Chain A
Amino acid sequence: MQFVVCIKQVRDVAAISEMLSHTPHSVAIKAEEMIDLLEKTPGMMNPEDKHALEAALQLRDAFGGEVVCVSVGREDAIGALKKAMAMGADRAELWTTQELDVSGSADVLATIVKERTQADLILCAELSVDASTHQLPALLASRLGMPYLNGICDISIEDQKLRVRRKLPEEIALYRLSLPAVLSISPHANEPRYPSVMGIVRFSGEKIPAQIRVEAAPEEMIKGKFFFTKTQEWTLLDNERDIEWIACEDADEKADQLLKKLNRRGIL
């Protein structure tokens, strides 16, 4: 079976907040400034994608086949794909394009899936930490005419049919669906493995490893493509929160500990 995983290279969010740490929270950052800032920020694999990749690796190990990663974006997305290879993916396809919105990305990804894979199952993250639209998996499924479910926390395959568990706020629902299909994986589904050191050593040694095929998306696909959505400005929210759990049975002792903690932090 072939398991296809959508991988996105995003900017390192922690590095952005580090760079913005001197900016007052109420000041809006204009689109041009943000683009400039993003240029200076190192890239990384969308952290949520690791759960989709882990699910695919586990399925491959259980049912056999291969894991193919697909990505659309700038050429530096090779970095995220190298990480995916070091985690255990078999090969990857990257189509380079100009900056696209989620609809444009879904178009290109659907074309990669049709032309470069024989996908039995397509796995995505629930969201990317940069755009956070949550829309890509649904758009991709509609472009491919495949069934789609989100919030998946468990997958098994029986007689060429999928059995998946979907986590809802109050319950877990069990579904059966036909293959091929698109699923987005809940971050609670699994604990992603770390990339192997052997993989890091091997794939760092080459600019573009043979297992990663990079090509420019066909001009006609993206030519004249307009953005349905485009961000105009960003404002940072000051939402620093800290949660501490006081674990003890006795209410008096609990109150004492709470007072101590509040005191220590200078709140009281």
Chain B
Amino acid sequence: MNFALTEEQKRIQQMAREFAQQDLAPGVIERDINSTFPLEQFYKFGKTGIYGLPFSPEVGGQGGSYLSYILAVEEVSKVEGSFGIAFSVNTSLFCGSVDLSSASDEIKKKYIAPVAAGEKIGSFGLTEPDAGSDAAGQKTVAVKDGDHYVLNGSKCFNTNGPFADYTVIYCLTDPALGIKGMAAFVVEKGTPGFSVGKIEDKMGIHSAEVSDLILENVRVPAENMIAKPGEGFKLAMKALDGGRIGVAAQALGIAKAAFEIARDYMMEREQFGKPIAFQQYLQFTMAQLQTEIEAAEGLLYKAAIKKEMGEPYTIPAAMAKLYCSDVAMKVTSEAVQMLGGNGYMREYHVERMMRDAKITQIYEGTNEIQKLVIAGQLFRRK
């Protein structure tokens, strides 16, 4: 067993770190205050080809390591958690849905290549107001009409929704069958009847744009159906397995960044005549947090490697998402505490990280759902 990163993984990590420092760090607080997405930076990063990193060149990807991609999500999330989720949704959920689907290579290339080249942005539409953890409560429907399908309904909490060029919409072709009648379509921005609804005002990840998407008699060519009726739910779950590794990477990046800020602060901040870092009770907390971050990293990288090796990764992904997000919540909360009054102030970053960390316990399957997934294989009836 070898824990060393490969040359490719180190180089991608380094490149993402440089990008985060040079292009994302400036203005990160202002974007949080104003809830504005760094769209220009998102396109700039995309020009490197990073969003198509783990996909094969046949569909327009770069044929890189899955762990390289995960390291990149982690690096950008250290500076701006909102950017991390936009990246993960673009790559894991949009491109991931298309890549894992039964669509032809032609359709896969048509939709993955422009996203991989950083020219187009993807989004993922599964959740509905009455269908969150229980995806069976779906109401969005698709009805066949000649060589098209007509889609009606709405999706909520779509990250990248307001500006996405392509969205995978999961919907029912036969509501009587429930999720057994679920299909999936790629819907392009500008298709008549397809519009952006309410843009959410959130607790954290302010600079990520999350919105409702509304479908009113949206005519989609039948060839855009990437999952046939009955295959949609399975595809959504497969894409989410990948997405959860992305969310775990986002969470780990946030945790590591908050930890570093707290550590540096503790070396500088003097109280009672010495840096607070030399108070043993604070050292113990930091030692505990560092250990948990290392453990989270181990789970995350293992899940990424499992996916990369083509081994089953549903359980490792659920464990990584569950643990990394819990660690992120704990570390960021402790980091705010370590910085005392300053920790509560925007300019020290950790309060934003704490707000950003919270969502990682909720989206792409709440942590309760992750436990259901893990427990499901633990006590499977024979």
Contacts and interface: CB of A to CB of B under 8 A. Distances in A.
Interface of A: 82-83, 86, 193-198, 200-201, 204-205, 264
Contacts of B18: 194
Contacts of B63: 201
Most chain-A CB neighbours within 10 Å: which of B53, B64, B347?
Answer: B64
A196 B6 contact: no
A264 B49 CA distance: 42
Contact of B64 (A83, A201, A264): A201
B8 A201 contact: yes
B73 to A, nearest CB: 13
Contacts of B45: 194
Contact of A197 (B6, B53, B347): B53
Contact of B8 (A83, A193, A194, A200): A200
A247 to B, nearest CB: 12
A200 B19 contact: no
Contacts of A201: 8, 53, 62-65, 68
A197 B49 contact: yes
Contacts of B62: 197-198, 201
Contacts of B65: 201
Contacts of A82: 11
A195 B15 CA distance: 7
Given A201-B63, A264-B345, 11 more contacts: A194-B18, A194-B19, A197-B15, A197-B53, A197-B62, A198-B49, A200-B11, A200-B12, A201-B64, A204-B7, A204-B11
Contacts of B11: 82-83, 86, 195, 200, 204
A205 B15 contact: no
Contacts of A204: 6-8, 11
A196 B347 CA distance: 33
Which 5 residue pairs spanning A and B have beta carbons closest together?
Answer: A204-B8, A197-B49, A204-B7, A201-B64, A200-B11
B12 A197 contact: yes
Most chain-B CB neighbours within 10 Å: which of A82, A86, A197, A204?
Answer: A197
Contacts, number: 46
Interface string B22-62: 00000000000000000000000101111011000000001
A197 B64 contact: yes
13 contacts: A83-B11, A86-B11, A194-B15, A194-B19, A195-B15, A196-B48, A197-B53, A197-B62, A200-B8, A200-B12, A200-B64, A204-B7, A204-B8
Contact of A205 (B8, B50, B347): B8
Contacts of A198: 49, 62
Most chain-B CB neighbours within 10 Å: which of A193, A194, A200, A205?
Answer: A200
Nearest to A82: B11
B172 to A, nearest CB: 37
Interface string B335-360: 00000001001010000000000000
Most chain-A CB neighbours within 10 Å: which of B11, B15, B63, B347?
Answer: B11
Contacts of A83: 11
Nearest to B57: A198
Contact of A195 (B48, B52, B347): B48
B70 to A, nearest CB: 14
Contacts of B47: 193-194
Contacts of A205: 8
Interface in B123-137: none
A62 B53 CA distance: 28
Contacts of A194: 15, 18-19, 45, 47-48
A200 B7 CA distance: 9
A23 to B, nearest CB: 14
Contacts of A193: 47
Nearest to B267: A21
A193 B342 CA distance: 37
A204 B342 CA distance: 43
A23 B19 CA distance: 30
Nearest to B347: A264
A88 B49 CA distance: 13
Nearest to A191: B22
A176 to B, nearest CB: 34
B271 to A, nearest CB: 11
A185 B163 CA distance: 38
A13 to B, nearest CB: 14
A196 B63 CA distance: 13
A86 B8 CA distance: 11
B23 to A, nearest CB: 9
Contacts of A197: 12, 15, 48-50, 52-53, 62, 64
Nearest to A261: B347
A201 B12 CA distance: 9
Nearest to B65: A201
A260 B351 CA distance: 20
Contacts of A200: 8, 11-12, 15, 64
A193 B48 CA distance: 9
A147 B11 CA distance: 37
Contacts of A195: 11, 15, 48
Interface string B1-16: 0000011100110010
Contacts of B50: 197
Nearest to A205: B8
A17 B62 CA distance: 35
Nearest to A204: B8
B19 to A, nearest CB: 6
A76 to B, nearest CB: 12
A5 to B, nearest CB: 19
Contacts of B68: 201
A196 B49 contact: yes
Nearest to B116: A197
Contacts of B52: 197
A83 B15 CA distance: 10
A86 B347 CA distance: 36
Most chain-B CB neighbours within 10 Å: which of A196, A204, A264?
Answer: A204
